[in-house]
Amino acid sequence: MFTSPLEHITAELQRLDLLLHREILRLRATYQLSLDEFRGLYISDEQVNSLIDQSLGYEGEQSIIEELTQRAEALREANAARLHSDLPWQRLANEFSLAPIEQDILLLAIAPEIDLKYETLYAYLNNDITRKWPTHDLALRVLSASPAERSELRPYLSPHAALFAGNFLHTIDPTFRASSLAHGFTLMPALVDYLLGYRYEDARLTAFTETVNSLVAWNKVPLVADAVTRFRQVAKRFKASHGALPLLLLEGRPGAGRSLAARALCGELDLTLLKFDLEAARASPEPLSTLIAAALLQSRLEPAGLYLEGIATLFDNVGKPLPEAHALATTLTGHPRPVFLACTPGTQASGWLKRQSVLGFHFPEPDFSARVWLWQDALTEQDTALPADEIHLLAGRFILNPGQIQAAAETAAETRELTGTLDSMTLFEAARAQSDRSLGALAVKVKPIHCWDDLILPTATQTRIRELASAIRFRHVVYAEWGFERRIASGRGVKALFAGGSGTGKTMTASVIAQDLGLDLYKIDLSSIVSKYIGETEKNLDRIFQAAQSSNAILFFDEADALFGKRSEVKDAHDRYANIEVSYLLQKVEDHEGVVILASNLSKNIDEAFSRRLHYVIDFPLPDETHRERLWRGMLPPEAPLAKDLDWQFLAKQFSIAGGDIRNVALDAAFLAAQDGRVITMKQLINAMARQMMKQGRIPSPTDFKQYHGLIGEGE
């Protein structure tokens, strides 16, 4: 038995030497090799004789061609008898069912990688000092003993033959020659390493592939028992290898457990898992088809299952498969190792793969009880304990999938290494950091700067607001622990309407709730997403709600009147389409599992169908005199230099305006004071108030400003 890959290849090269010598004698016998003596421009007979004599152990041309053929065949049989299945050469031959002639072609290609003398011999036999590689013509001549054998060999050298289509050999195409016989070929570098006993690793793939181990137990895969059973049945089917093997379509968000399931299945088959990023591969200068062929070869030689992620990059903006997507689906068919296609929900894969055998698996978002278990398991792995009620709050507040929960636990553990402590606040921050940030491209994130004490609202309004915050905080108790989720088919989120005029504190209140709950707040101006083009409004809304589903943020729809208004009587096509928009948004809000807050100037303008789906309707009235005085006093920060003549009671009593207007007046007065180099006085406040009235189309009058009317315009 051969003890090493190199020992086997060296023995095979001795057989190749016999075949090369045979061809040299043939050419010399027919005077097809030059016998002149222009040294340096060609390879001489004496140089070749020396190379042959070194390997064969006899001089000159004493053996006849028939004897060389017999010796080569005898050596083939002897080498085959010493070859065992663990050697890379034999594994390759078995895996791809390579015929002896295909193995001989590989031997021609690998020879120069073992000994540079073969470059000299190939150049000599090609009758061209510049072509130091095997050509199709050379292979036909060296590996065949008769015209009939040569005819049988030729199909193995075509571009569609297994060795070339399978990415074993790379063609060298001399553009100055039209004949395919002049084409040369070389062995792929990664395959050279593999045949010499090293790990197969194609350098072209390293930027977007990763090999991961498959040491994952099925109880770590976040799927229901029936789905796990289906996966294990697939593993049995791959072990049996009867008939066509299906592609495995894994649908779910990143982190939902798709790769865990793939690793567990490969573990049952004693395979690793080769992860391939399609999006990164498409950005490579190499054609995607070439890279996929290389990945399929690596999958078979490692051996490993092939996990393709980034499937969405194979579709255009309207979800139609690109041409290369269809070519990819065809290429993957019939691969003897598991091929996993990881896609996100909504990917139109059914039409793309309609001609292939496909098994689909859906990875849903974990429910509350599953999230509790995942948090407990992840924290146990990090040697961290947390009270059950705090884990329940985490699981209820953030709808994270298994991968996100694992990453959040690891982040919190790293923080513990730095600070020495780990509390629920650290875990809440880690969980929030794992939420998807794609909503930021579709909406404006509101920076939380206020707290409960900053809300100056009527007692009844504040009570309802705190009830809303508590409902969001403890919704997991009602839906999951108390079983209400079994009574409500969809839309287990919290929906509220804030109704009131501009500047009454609706946005501030939403930010206070988000700050208190440790959630992000994203503000969406509905007037900016309503489109006159048919279907565009629905697309905009769909993108927002899809992003919100994984962002764990509160959605705040400002100016909701733009789309949430009452559906009108249908008089024309425009009315019909407008009603479709309202109905579509109605459905999206109802189905959303998170928190939605709508802001409207007038609650009576909201469609009754929407009202039935709102858990809370909270009115934000204009502040009364007492609240306005508190707003005036609280609007100016302690650091601001204030004069002693400020008459808060006058301002609160005389001007019935909202908190937003008070903010604008206070800020304008501060700018006036800053440019005068003085403290903020009543004069600046009066002038700022007058400007605010003029912006609203009102003329400042002595009736409004009374004793302070004379200050208007003073100093300007």
Q: What is the pLDDT of residues 254-303, one digit of tens each?
A: 888 899 999 999 999 999 999 999 999 988 888 888 899 899 999 999 88
What would the pLDDT profile of 254-268 be if each residue is shown by its tens digit?
Answer: 888 899 999 999 999
Min mean pLDDT across 338-352, 401-415, 483-497, 587-601 is at 483-497
Q: Based on the fold, state whether residues 152 and 248 are members of the same structural domain.
A: no
Does the pLDDT value for residue 381 go beyond 80?
yes
Does the pLDDT of residue 568 top 80, yes or no? no
Element (H, E) at 428: helix 424-433
Confidence of residue 566 (pLDDT cuts 50, 70, 90): very low
Of 58-72, 379-393, 468-482, 519-533, the poorest mean pLDDT is in 58-72
Tokens of 22: 């045979």
First to last CA, the chain: 104
pLDDT at 436: 67
Say which residue, 681 or 539, is predicted with more confidence: 681
Same domain, 629 and 616: no
* 39 pLDDT higher than 50: no
Averaged pLDDT score across all residues of the chain: 83
Structure token pair of residue 483 = 């079983």
| Cβ proximity of 263 and 214 under 8 Å | yes
247 contacts 306 by C-beta, under 8 angstroms = no
Q: Is the dihedral of CA 303, 305, 310, 312 positive or negative?
A: positive
pLDDT confidence of residue 605? 60
Cβ atoms 296, 331 nearer than 8 A? yes
Give residue 221's pLDDT: 86
Task: State mean pLDDT over 506-533.
Answer: 81
Domains contained in the chain, number: 5
pLDDT above 70 coverage of the chain, percent: 86
- In the predicted structure, residue 644 carries a pLDDT above the cut 80: yes
Lowest mean pLDDT among 323-332, 568-577, 645-654: 568-577
Tell me, what's the pLDDT at 562?
58
- Residue 180 region, left (φ>0) first, then alpha (ψ -120 to 50), else beta? alpha
The CA R_g of the chain, rounded to the nearest whole Å, is 38
- Domain containing 488 equals 444-620
Tell me: pLDDT of 27 over 90: no
Give me the mean pLDDT over the 338-366 stretch.
84
Is 422 among the domain residues?
yes
- Enumerate residues 6+ apart whose C-beta is below 8 A from 106: 98, 163, 168, 169, 187, 195
What is each CA distance from 189 to 87, 292, 437, 619, in whole angstroms? 18, 17, 42, 72
340 & 462 share domain: no
Of 145, 168, 199, the residue at which a domain comes to its end is 199
Question: 570 pLDDT band (50/70/90 cuts)?
Answer: very low
Q: Are strands 444-445 and 520-525 parallel, antiparallel or unpaired?
A: antiparallel
Enter the pTM of the model: 0.74
Residue 377 in this model has a pLDDT that exceeds 70: yes
Instruction: Tell me, yes or no, whether 549 and 611 share the same domain.
Output: yes
Residue 264 shares a structural domain with residue 350: yes
pLDDT over threshold 80, residue 253? yes
Question: Do β-strands 616-620 and 494-500 pair in parallel, antiparallel, or remain unpaired?
Answer: parallel
Cα-based angle 709, 715, 716 (whole degrees, multiple of 5): 95
**For the packed helices 225-240 and 258-268, what is the interaxial angle rounded to 10 degrees?**
40
Tell me which H or E stretch contains 573. Answer: helix 573-591
351 touches 321 (CB < 8 A):
yes
What's the CATH number where 216 sits?
3.40.50.300
Distance CA 331, CA 327 (A): 6
pLDDT of the residue at 576: 46
Residue 568 lies in a domain: yes
Least confident of 23-37, 104-118, 183-197: 23-37
The percent of residues in the chain predicted with pLDDT above 90, rounded, is 21
**More confident position, 534 or 115:** 115
So what's the pLDDT on residue 535? Answer: 63
Cβ(311)–Cβ(346) below 8 Å: no
325 lies in some domain: yes
Residue 403 lies in a domain: yes
* CATH code, domain carrying 646: 1.10.8.60
**Are both 526 and 495 inside the same structural domain?**
yes
Residues 268 and 383 in one domain: no
Say which residues have a Cβ less than 8 Å from residue 482's Cβ, sequence separation at least 6. Answer: none
Residue 123 lies in a domain: yes
* DSSP type of residue 234: H
pLDDT at 525: 73
pLDDT band of 36, cuts 50, 70, 90: low
In a domain? residue 716:
no
**Shared-domain flag, residues 302 and 418:** no
Q: What is the pLDDT of residue 603?
A: 60
59 — pLDDT class (breaks 50, 70, 90): very low
Sheet bearing 444-445, strands edge to edge: 444-445, 520-525, 553-558, 595-600, 494-500, 616-620
Last residue of some domain: 595, 620, 645? Answer: 620
Same domain, 31 and 170: yes
Confidence label for 107 from pLDDT (cuts 50, 70 and 90):
very high
Summarised one tens digit per residue, pLDDT across range 139-196 is 999 998 888 889 999 999 998 898 988 889 988 876 666 688 889 999 999 999 999 9
Write the CATH number for 415.
Answer: 1.10.8
Task: Indicate whether 287 belongs to any domain.
Answer: yes
Domain co-membership, 267 together with 174: no
Largest CA distance in the chain: 130
Q: Which of 149, 166, 199 is the last residue of a domain?
A: 199
600 with 634, same domain: the answer is no
Spatial distance between the Cα atoms of 304 and 272, rounded to a whole number of angstroms: 4
Residue 439 lies in a domain: no
Neighbours of 64 (CB within 10 A): 11
* CB count in 10 Å sphere of residue 634: 14
Q: Are residues 174 and 77 in the same domain?
A: yes
pLDDT value of residue 340: 94
| Helix, coil or strand: residue 357 | coil
* Residue 131 predicted with pLDDT over 70: yes
Position 405 scores a pLDDT of 87
The pLDDT confidence band at residue 509, using thresholds 50, 70 and 90, is: very high
Other CB atoms closer than 10 Å to residue 459's CB: what's the count? 7
Is the pLDDT higher at 543 or at 679? 679
Nearest CA among 386, 389, 387, 385 for reference residue 397 = 389
Instruction: State phi, psi for 281 to the nearest 5 degrees.
Output: -65, -35
